[in-house]
């Protein structure tokens, strides 16, 4: 009996051959219109109803059956299991976008690519052939992309929905910037890619806003939030709409905001302006924390400055009342899932939402205990065969 790997390869070849045989029979049904004898108006309808395939699977299978009638060598290779249905789909793409005549002429060498390469590589080669045959289509696609390009940012209940399409040149610029700002800061940057991309994009936008918008003649823009102290109505972020109290506190902690207090629609006062940590304070905080998030067990290095006594609750921008947290931990604080208290002079205290203290030393002890328990289990498992031998 052969190895498992040989068996799997044989099963895959047999499955590919069966798929090719199914496509070949469908091609015959299409020629004879045999599906009409069973009450179906089209071959697609028959396949979808009788084989219970999805609309996309049905369309792919019917297109494959048509392709095999044009390309007998491809049909023979598929029947023997030498190529897969995904390879046939690449030939189908070529017939549609290049023309049956060109693909028939290129069938011998394209089939060699199919026999030795993955379907995606074959598709890449077919697309390159299309570009060589129709070079003007590249400029046509670029022009059509210019006509399509648009970006829309629409407020939705849980944030902003960004949609759009960019032309080749502008999209390349955007990708170059996003790839650059989304790179890990250092070897200890453990943020997932999604978080790094969003944080990086936020950094780019912040730098632009700090320099002032051209339309405002260089005046630094602010986020404006309006809330009425006489009612329980939610605060409103200009350009977005209503926001919750925790998001209000987070925005007040980390961005430039002009909070406008009103009573019954009348402006009473404007909030404090000296709120953000100075550059010297930021440097002192990062040095104090060795450039790492202050939360126990977190070693992220992309830090935001947080007021331990929240700015919205009367906190001061004093060095001993400021702490550096990564974006994720900072969000946890303002969602009240992580509670920070104390100060830099006597030490900060971290607790969970139940106000139970979180200590790095405790986590280390738990990890060590689990490791020792696993080692003991492994030792017992290793001894079991020896005991069995001694009894015999």
Please write the tens of the pLDDT for every residue from 299-341: 887 788 888 888 777 777 777 788 899 888 888 888 888 888 8
* pLDDT(176) > 80: yes
- pLDDT at 318 (0 to 100): 76
Give the start-to-end residue ranges of the domains of the chain: 4-139, 279-358
The predicted model gives 274-294 an average pLDDT of 76
Length of the chain: 392
pTM: 0.42
In three-state secondary structure terms, 43 is helix
- pLDDT at 105 (0 to 100): 92
End-to-end CA distance of the chain: 33
- pLDDT level of residue 103 (50, 70, 90 thresholds): very high
- pLDDT level of residue 160 (50, 70, 90 thresholds): confident
User: How far apart, in Å, are the Cα atoms of 62 and each of 41, 49, 85, 361?
Assistant: 14, 14, 11, 63
- pLDDT at 378 (0 to 100): 62
Percent of the chain with pLDDT over 90: 7
The predicted model gives 60-88 an average pLDDT of 84
Q: What is the pLDDT of residues 343-368, one digit of tens each?
A: 887 788 888 877 777 765 445 544 55
- pLDDT at 104 (0 to 100): 92
- Name the CA radius of gyration of the chain, rounded: 32
Per the CB < 8 A criterion, the answer to whether 61 and 88 are in contact is no
Structure tokens at 287: 């040095």
């Amino acid at each position: 009996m052969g190895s498992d790997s040989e068996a799997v390869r044989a099963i895959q070849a047999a499955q590919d051959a069966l798929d090719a045989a199914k496509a070949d029979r469908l091609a015959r049904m299409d020629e004879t219109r045999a599906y009409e004898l069973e009450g179906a108006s089209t071959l697609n309808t028959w396949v979808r109803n009788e084989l219970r395939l999805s609309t996309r699977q049905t369309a792919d299978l019917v297109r494959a059956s048509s392709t095999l009638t044009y390309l007998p060598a491809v049909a023979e290779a598929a029947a023997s299991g030498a190529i897969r249905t995904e390879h046939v789909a690449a030939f189908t793409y070529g017939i549609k976008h290049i023309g049956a005549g060109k693909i028939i002429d290129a069938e011998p060498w394209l089939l060699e690519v199919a026999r030795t390469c993955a379907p995606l590589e074959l598709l890449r080669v077919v697309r390159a052939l299309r570009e060589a045959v129709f070079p003007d289509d590249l400029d046509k696609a670029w022009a059509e992309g210019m006509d399509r390009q648009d970006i829309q940012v629409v407020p939705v209940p849980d944030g902003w929905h960004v949609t759009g399409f960019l032309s080749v040149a502008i999209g390349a610029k955007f990708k170059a910037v996003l790839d650059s700002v989304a790179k890990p800061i250092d070897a200890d940057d453990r943020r997932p890619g999604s978080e790094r991309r969003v944080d990086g994009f936020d950094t780019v936008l912040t730098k632009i806003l700090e320099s002032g918008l051209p339309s405002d003649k260089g005046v630094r823009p602010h986020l404006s939030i309006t809330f009425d102290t006489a009612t329980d109505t939610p605060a409103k972020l200009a350009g977005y709409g209503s926001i919750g109290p925790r998001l209000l506190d987070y925005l007040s902690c980390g961005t430039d905001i002009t909070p406008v207090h009103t009573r019954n629609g009348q402006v009473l006062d404007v909030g404090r302006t000296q709120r953000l940590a100075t550059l010297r304070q930021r440097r002192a905080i990062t040095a104090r924390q060795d450039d790492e998030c202050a939360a126990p067990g977190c070693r992220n290095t992309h830090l935001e400055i947080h007021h331990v006594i929240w700015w919205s609750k009367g906190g001061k921008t004093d060095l001993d009342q400021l702490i550096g947290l990564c974006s994720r931990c900072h969000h946890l604080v303002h969602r009240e899932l992580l509670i920070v208290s104390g100060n830099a002079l006597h030490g900060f205290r971290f607790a969970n939402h139940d106000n139970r203290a979180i200590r790095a030393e405790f986590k280390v002890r738990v990890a060590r205990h689990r490791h020792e328990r696993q080692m003991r289990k492994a030792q017992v498992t290793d001894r079991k065969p020896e005991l069995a031998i001694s009894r015999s």
